[in-house]
Structure 1
Amino acid sequence: MSKKFILLFFLSSLFAIGQTKKASKLETYTSRKEIYEIKYNPEKWILTETSDWDVQFHDKYNLVNAYFIEYDYFITDKKLKSTIEDEYKEFGKIKNLKITKKKINDLTVNYFECELDYNDMLYKYQGFIYNGKGGSIQMQYGAQAEALEQNQDIIDELNNGISIIK
């Protein structure tokens, strides 16, 4: 009887080990001024270097793009709306621009959301601008409206991965 119990315990332990989810290994991007870092899951986000932004991410299906930049100046609340509008002017006029204060980790950011009709398709953008040590930073996400809505969970996850290096 005790041999059967030991065998049963051993088999159930193997089954339990096989059922445990493998923890995702996070990778870290460090900003060029080494003030901020972004922890991200490489199974969900692919990092690429870009010439227009410090770094670009895209989801594994290449539907949502995320862009991060560290500016050498501050973007004041007074200039926030015009700065965001200027970023999209070559693609068309943005509409439904909403800017709110939001807390991401220990950072109080100016979070924005907007829409843009481009080539008869509706695109949605969201992101934030934060004025902190060394200037401003911006994180921005963009995709067709349906893709952005369906991937809000991984957007929130990437947002929550940003922090100040202490």
Structure 2
Amino acid sequence: MQADEERIRSKQSLGRLSWVLIILHGFLGIGAIIGGGGLIIDPSGNILQMPNSLLEHSPFRNFLIPGIVLLLVLGIMPIVIAISLVTQCHWKIGVKLNLYPDRHWAWTFSLYTGFALHIWIMVQVFWIQHVSVIHLVYFAWGIAIQVVTLLPGVQQRYSR
């Protein structure tokens, strides 16, 4: 009886680790919305002081498509995930794309976001043929998202 009450209490309150995960997604989303929005508004990259020479080895002539991808995949999606980690709302598409049906879809999408961030950074480095500190920071951010997502307490929080 007491173990059941403790389990219910732990499910009802978001633990510190869950908040860390929510904050990681929130800040990633906010930054990517600002960056992606800036690239969409000004595809030349001037508004964000990004020279067009960064696209020299990429398939793009301007920053519009990268801006859209950044806005949607690393901006809006992490914000949706952060909100869903708090509310545990139902989303049919999220449930269908969930590779871990024993976990809430937002937990699984948290892992997906870490992978998406790693892919984004690796593609960026490949195309610009240069690694900067910001690439390392965001790559580590993706690892942090995945590590926190996989911690036992977080997994238990989002178990079905």
TM tier, shorter chain? under 0.3
TM-score using structure 2 length: 0.27
Higher strand share: 1
TM-score w.r.t. length of structure 1? 0.27
Where is the helix percentage greater, Structure 1 or Structure 2? 2
